[in-house]
Chains A and B, each alone.
Chain A
Amino acid sequence: MIVGLLVGYFIPQKRFFSLLAVFLGVSFFWGLFAFYISNANDHILASRVAELVIKKNDPILLVLTTALIGGISAGMAAFTGRSLAILLKKQ
């Protein structure tokens, strides 16, 4: 989330694109990383945790949930960072 905040603050672009870019970047990275780990693990843990957390024995769904959570947290932080920058800039 900190990374998202900083990226949003320092990189100038429209607020919405800030959110979108960071969201896509982080969710893609988290999703890929989680999938890679899970695959090497033959999806044993992801199946169990998916059952526990989202009540469905679906490891890929857990990977997507992970990606989504990571993306939204970072993306929102970026939006906030950008909003702050825009706020301070126009002073």
Chain B
Amino acid sequence: MKYVIFTVSLLINAALVYVLGTREVLPIPLGEFLSVQEGIWQNAESADHDFSENVALNDLNGEVNVYLDERLVPHIFAEDENDAYYVQGFLHAKFRLWQMEFQTFAAAGRLSEFVGDKAIQFDRNQRRMGMVYAAENALYAMEQDDSTKAALDAYTKGVNAYISTLDKADLPIEYKLLGYMPEKWSNFKSALFTKQMTYTLAGYDKDFEYTHALKLLGEENFQLLYPEIADSLYPVIAKGTPYTQPLAELVPPANADSVYFKRNDTIHIAQEFKPNPSNGSNNWAVSGSRTQSGKPILSNDPHLSLSLPSIWFEIQLHTKAFNSYGVSFPGLPGVVIGFNDSIAFGFTNAGRDVKDYYEIKFKDASKSAYWFNGEWKNAEQRIETIKVKGSSNLLDTVAYTVFGPVMYDKSFKNELTAEKAYALRWVAHDTSNILKMWLLLNRAKNYDDYHHAIGYFNVPGQNMIFASHSGDIALWQQATFPLRWKGQGLFVMPGYDSSYMWKGFIPNEENPHAVNPTSGYVSSANQRPADSTYPYFIPGSYEVYRAITINKKLDGMVNITVDDMKALQNNNYNVFAELARPLLSKYVHRDQLNADESKYLQIVESWNLQNDPNEKGVTAFHAWWDSLYNNIFMDDLHQTSQPLVRPEKFVLLEALTKDSAFRFIDNRNTSQQEDLAMQVTSALKKATIKLNELASADKLEWAKFKNTTVYHLLKTSTLPFARAGIMNGGGNGIVNATQHDHGPSWRMVIEMTQPIRAFAVYPGGQSGNPGSKFYDNFIDTWAKGEYYTLFYMHKEDVNADQVKWKMSFNPVL
């Protein structure tokens, strides 16, 4: 009997270990996860946690003191700037380690290692795009330069010094959730991070979609749906700015008309992963001639996916060489957007196309040779090893050509015709040291320093804005942009010889720029940088409407104050609706509407054109316009199953404004000939169905519909770590560019007085620990459109009230 009891109890024990200690039955090992000694309870940071401590670090050159303020912003005081980067690395790891690792694992196509086989396609996509290849080239360039190498070495040492202090109980909660341990950091990981940012901002492409569209529509209709320049464009650089003549006349190859512009064969590429086309930003700088203080004010709000932990980490670096404050990227040393005691700097995405695809013909299935310039050329074979959790390694061979990696071939993504494959030519693959720009900007004292610094930056293209205490303002659209003949790169190009390759690059000096313009301000909002008089072909993905609102507002402002600039960043005016609504009002058949439809018509017509949280008009207008858009375009675009890209927002509006008999209005699937009035009316009827559903779910008000949510990086797997239901306004094409999960990830307004007046906020918190009160404590302030006053510390401030904790870093003796 006692044998039986013992055996049974042993089995029960074993079962408990199996269920509570492994991931075989439950998704998390609950025994470990909820253990008081090792589990999540160790991540539950006490509300009165004391962050003061003394830390001994190897190879630190001198003592470094870090003063933490009440928002947990570290103010690093070091004599030697490399010591500052060392401590920056330590602090980035202390507060955001998991995020740094997760982002660089994703960049390197290594998510399958801890997520399993559902990430394989993503990882293959990253490898085949050449992310690791690009990072290797970036690392090479960064390590060739003494100052950037020293900065990276110090930063890496700092991250690793922190990692070495961690035991199982201290691990961030996501490691416990997913069941893995942190790896050592390296300079290579910082290089990977730069390429991930590049992909986010300069990785969006439409080459395949445009190629499909051209085949479907023909040249004329293609131009109607995908025009190069919007009529209402308010370019970054003012219309009328004179441009120098281009270096040389750029002409397409002789066979372009038959082989490129009028392809007869088909391509079947469906790309699964793309960066968010809304990735962009606003910035503007007004000169002292227009401000109340007489000094310039610079404003910047970058628009990215809203996430917890935030992409940004606020920091100050005070060294003998410079004193900079702003936001940094966990993964890189330095301040990325911010200011020092003389200047301020910020960025918006240029949206320029720096990515093209070339059709490749392989000799055979081995992919070892491809046809180029009249002969079979050897391709470099790169074997990517993808480790998969719970499975064996996956090997993926990618051929590298003169253009770059052959991203798409028989083994990845599609059905091909014959032996065709597509190579990617992307500026991101070229060697350059973008980190050098930031190390120089952090210490820049004037316009010349800024201008010199930005020359090191090759990708992703940015509108780099500048203001100085001495009174200068400037904006340069800087990157290494390819020289293109008109039309080059819109579509997939033949890669059988060198004739379609880029002819070179636009010299930096000829990039669009403005320095102390007579208008008294510079600004950018991802719109096309220049009008049609700019002498180069500059395809890209451009926004139109935010720039209109910003420029109209700035044109009319005098005696500008910081509060005016904050108000502009939070402006909810819907200029697109202002332009589009009259069309809807004019053409709708009022006599054909039922009670509900009339009700929504009334809501739209009485709406004040503000995308404010409580407005039902926003939701109703967008439902109606989107229905109209679908009515007009979907029948035409759905004629093919090949992926296409939707025509831009401005296309339908401007086409209908010019021509109420726009040829696409008719629905080709019906025998009836629809006109604009019929389509507008039908759109309202369709929208009403949707709007009634929303109304019964109490989601008609804009903020409730939009349901702005800051997701944790693991998205829907960790919804309890997200912050949902943020009731603010804004939207796409609105200066306050807040959408469902995308928007101003940092808002900053800097007045270049002495002392500097700096205000900023981001929707997150300094700590990446969901168990800390500093995880998401800034979100409410951000949602209300409010700002924090930044504590720009100097040596005499060490005993100021704002200083709450002190960390002393000492060299090990």
In residues 35-90 of chain A, which contact B (Cβ within 8 Å)?
A: 37-38, 40-42, 44-49, 51-53, 57, 62, 65-66, 69-70, 72-73, 76-77, 79-80, 83-84, 86-87, 90
Contacts of B46 in A (CB 8 A): 37, 40-41
A42 to B393, CA, bound (A): 44
CB pair A41 B6 closer than 8 Å: no
Closest to A49 in B: B40
Write the A19-47 contact mask toward B (1 if CB under 8 angstroms, else 0): 00000000000100110011011101111
Closest to B37 in A: A33
- The yes or no answer to A1 lying at the interface (CB within 8 A) is yes
In residues 23-38 of chain B, which contact A (Cβ within 8 Å)?
A: 28, 30-31, 33-36
Contacts of B5 in A (CB 8 A): 15, 83
Contacts of A52 in B (CB 8 A): 718, 720-721
A30 to B35, CA, bound (A): 8
Contacts of B2 in A (CB 8 A): 83, 86-87, 90
Closest to A15 in B: B5
Number of interface residues of A (CB under 8 A): 36
A87 to B33, CA, bound (A): 34
Closest to A45 in B: B771
Closest to B43 in A: A45
Give the interface segment out of B11-19, B136-144, B548-556: B11-19
CB pair B20 A69 closer than 8 Å: yes
CB pair A33 B41 closer than 8 Å: yes
One of A42, A80, A87 near B773 (C-beta < 8 A): A42
Write the B43-64 contact mask toward A (1 if CB under 8 angstroms, else 0): 1111110000000000000000
Contacts of B3 in A (CB 8 A): 87
- The yes or no answer to B259 lying at the interface (CB within 8 A) is no
Closest to A80 in B: B9
A55 to B31, CA, bound (A): 17
- The yes or no answer to B10 lying at the interface (CB within 8 A) is yes
- The yes or no answer to B770 lying at the interface (CB within 8 A) is yes
CB pair B718 A37 closer than 8 Å: no
Given contacts A49-B720, A72-B16, contact A40 B47 (CB under 8 A): yes
Given contacts A69-B34, A86-B2, contact A37 B44 (CB under 8 A): yes
CB pair B773 A45 closer than 8 Å: no
Closest to B718 in A: A52
Contacts of B173 in A (CB 8 A): 45, 49
CB pair A84 B6 closer than 8 Å: yes
CB pair B12 A44 closer than 8 Å: no
CB pair B36 A80 closer than 8 Å: no
CB distance from B31 to the nearest CB of A (A): 6
One of A47, A66, A84, A87 near B34 (C-beta < 8 A): A66
Closest to A51 in B: B720
CB distance from B666 to the nearest CB of A (A): 51
CB pair A73 B31 closer than 8 Å: yes
CB distance from B293 to the nearest CB of A (A): 41
CB pair B6 A69 closer than 8 Å: no
Contacts of A15 in B (CB 8 A): 5
CB distance from A59 to the nearest CB of B (A): 10
Contacts of A72 in B (CB 8 A): 16
CB pair A76 B44 closer than 8 Å: no
CB distance from B297 to the nearest CB of A (A): 37
A57 to B720, CA, bound (A): 9
Contacts of A80 in B (CB 8 A): 6, 9-10, 12-13
Write the B753-796 contact mask toward A (1 if CB under 8 angstroms, else 0): 00000000000000000111101000000000000000000000
Q: In the complex, which of the residues B28, B44, B719, B721 has the most CB atoms of chain A within 10 Å of its own CB atom? A: B44
A15 to B31, CA, bound (A): 23
One of B17, B36, B721, B775 near A37 (C-beta < 8 A): B36
Contacts of B770 in A (CB 8 A): 44-45, 48
CB distance from A83 to the nearest CB of B (A): 4
Q: In the complex, which of the residues B12, B17, B41, B46 has the most CB atoms of chain A within 10 Å of its own CB atom? A: B41
One of B13, B44, B718, B775 near A77 (C-beta < 8 A): B13
One of A37, A44, A87 near B41 (C-beta < 8 A): A37
CB pair A41 B45 closer than 8 Å: yes
CB distance from B331 to the nearest CB of A (A): 25
CB pair B44 A41 closer than 8 Å: yes
A69 to B12, CA, bound (A): 14
Contacts of A87 in B (CB 8 A): 2-3, 6
A1 to B16, CA, bound (A): 10
CB pair A1 B17 closer than 8 Å: yes
Closest to B10 in A: A80
A37 to B47, CA, bound (A): 10
CB distance from A82 to the nearest CB of B (A): 9
CB pair B20 A30 closer than 8 Å: no
Given contacts A48-B770, A53-B30, contact A38 B36 (CB under 8 A): no
Contacts of B28 in A (CB 8 A): 53
Given contacts A37-B41, A87-B3, contact A70 B718 (CB under 8 A): no
Given contacts A80-B6, A83-B2, A83-B6, contact A46 B36 (CB under 8 A): no
Contacts of B13 in A (CB 8 A): 1, 76-77, 80
CB pair B6 A34 closer than 8 Å: no
Contacts of A30 in B (CB 8 A): 36
Given contacts A65-B34, A69-B31, contact A76 B9 (CB under 8 A): yes
In residues 385-420 of chain B, which contact A (Cβ within 8 Å)?
A: none
Closest to A46 in B: B44
A46 to B173, CA, bound (A): 12
CB pair A83 B9 closer than 8 Å: yes
One of A62, A76, A86 near B16 (C-beta < 8 A): A76
CB pair B41 A38 closer than 8 Å: yes
Contacts of B6 in A (CB 8 A): 80, 83-84, 86-87
Contacts of B17 in A (CB 8 A): 1
CB distance from A26 to the nearest CB of B (A): 10
One of B20, B48, B771 near A73 (C-beta < 8 A): B20
**9 tightest A-B contacts by CB?**
A45-B771, A51-B720, A83-B6, A41-B44, A40-B46, A45-B44, A48-B720, A80-B9, A66-B34
- Chosen A-B contacts, 5 in total, with CB atoms closer than 8 Å, are A44-B44, A45-B45, A51-B719, A70-B34, A76-B9
> 6 more A-B contacts (CB under 8 A) besides A37-B44, A62-B34, A69-B34?
A44-B770, A44-B775, A45-B770, A53-B28, A53-B30, A76-B13
The residues of A with any CB-CB pair to B shorter than 8 Å are 1, 15, 30, 33-34, 37-38, 40-42, 44-49, 51-53, 57, 62, 65-66, 69-70, 72-73, 76-77, 79-80, 83-84, 86-87, 90
